[in-house]
Chain A
Amino acid sequence: ETGVTQTPRHLVMGMTNKKSLKCEQHLGHNAMYWYKQSAKKPLELMFVYSLEERVENNSVPSRFSPECPNSSHLFLHLHTLQPEDSALYLCASSLQPGTRNNEQFFGPGTRLTVL
């Protein structure tokens, strides 16, 4: 138990569906992250939020839309996804992005399959 929870753990959706992934951290951290983990690829950073403001968007297609209503919650809204978007989506949190070591604590991930 890392103090970061994600729901749902598994999601299967069609290309025309709209769904949302949820992440919650109970660590009192100020920064939250979305990563994509695909087979045979390094973890890809998608978005970074610091104190509820988006500070990084790594050229992610607009069919992925993040939302951070407060420092404990992070959402990833999905719409009109493609089969190649199937992956494990990981949420992480850290004290804040600017800390020297930026140690990140990960949730268990959402396994997404796009049909």
Chain B
Amino acid sequence: TQLLEQSPQFLSIQEGENLTVYCNSSSVFSSLQWYRQEPGEGPVLLVTVVTGGEVKKLKRLTFQFGDARKDSSLHITAAQPGDTGLYLCAGARLTGGGNKLTFGTGTQLKVEL
């Protein structure tokens, strides 16, 4: 079983601060996805990174896929209370049953005024 470890597990910061969340594995993935989940809702896809070293930006969020496609990071600039939520990374790996997602352990982010 491949594990995706996310760090930190919990993060509480003030509005306007920057932060980085890490997603690490010993396995290689064909792509990696980031989701955000708010209380009482399901995860919502933010971005998919496919190529090793790829960087994608979504407003104040910057996502990077590691060169070896084993890890990823999410950087948030000038965090806002609306960024509060559970951030999940998920690695896609081709198996006999198709392209299977393995989800990370999650990072719970709270941004306070």
Q: How many A-B residue pairs have CB under 8 A?
A: 72
Is B30 an interface residue, CB under 8 A from the partner?
Answer: yes
Do A100 and B97 have beta carbons less than 8 Å apart?
no
Pick the contact of B98: A2, A50, A90, A106 (CB < 8 A): A50
In the assembled complex, how far is the CB of residue B99 from the closest CB belonging to chain A, in whole angstroms? 4
Also in contact, A42 and B99, with CB within 8 A (given A101-B50, A104-B45, A107-B42) = no
Contact-residue size bin, chain B (C-beta under 8 Å from the other chain) = 20 to 34
Do A101 and B42 have beta carbons less than 8 Å apart?
no
Complex formed: what's the CA distance from A109 to B103 in Å? 16
Is A70 an interface residue, CB under 8 A from the partner?
Answer: no
Is B88 an interface residue, CB under 8 A from the partner?
Answer: yes
Which residues of A are found within 8 Å of B50, using beta-carbon distances?
100-101
In the assembled complex, how far is the CB of residue B13 from the closest CB belonging to chain A, in whole angstroms? 21
In the assembled complex, how far is the CB of residue B39 from the closest CB belonging to chain A, in whole angstroms? 10
Contact string against A for B residues 82-109, beta-carbon threshold 8 Å, 1 for contact and 0 otherwise: 0000001010100001111111111000
Is B43 an interface residue, CB under 8 A from the partner?
Answer: yes
In the assembled complex, how far is the CB of residue B90 from the closest CB belonging to chain A, in whole angstroms? 8
Is A32 an interface residue, CB under 8 A from the partner?
Answer: no
Do A43 and B99 have beta carbons less than 8 Å apart?
no
Do B33 and A101 have beta carbons less than 8 Å apart?
yes
Do A42 and B104 have beta carbons less than 8 Å apart?
yes
Shortest 6 CB-CB contacts between residues of A and residues of B: A97-B98, A106-B42, A102-B99, A43-B103, A98-B98, A101-B31
Chain A residues at the B interface, C-beta cutoff of 8 Å: 2, 4, 6, 31, 42-43, 45, 48, 50, 55-56, 90-92, 96-109, 111
Can you list 6 pairs linking A and B with CB atoms under 8 Å apart? A45-B101, A100-B30, A102-B31, A102-B98, A108-B40, A108-B42
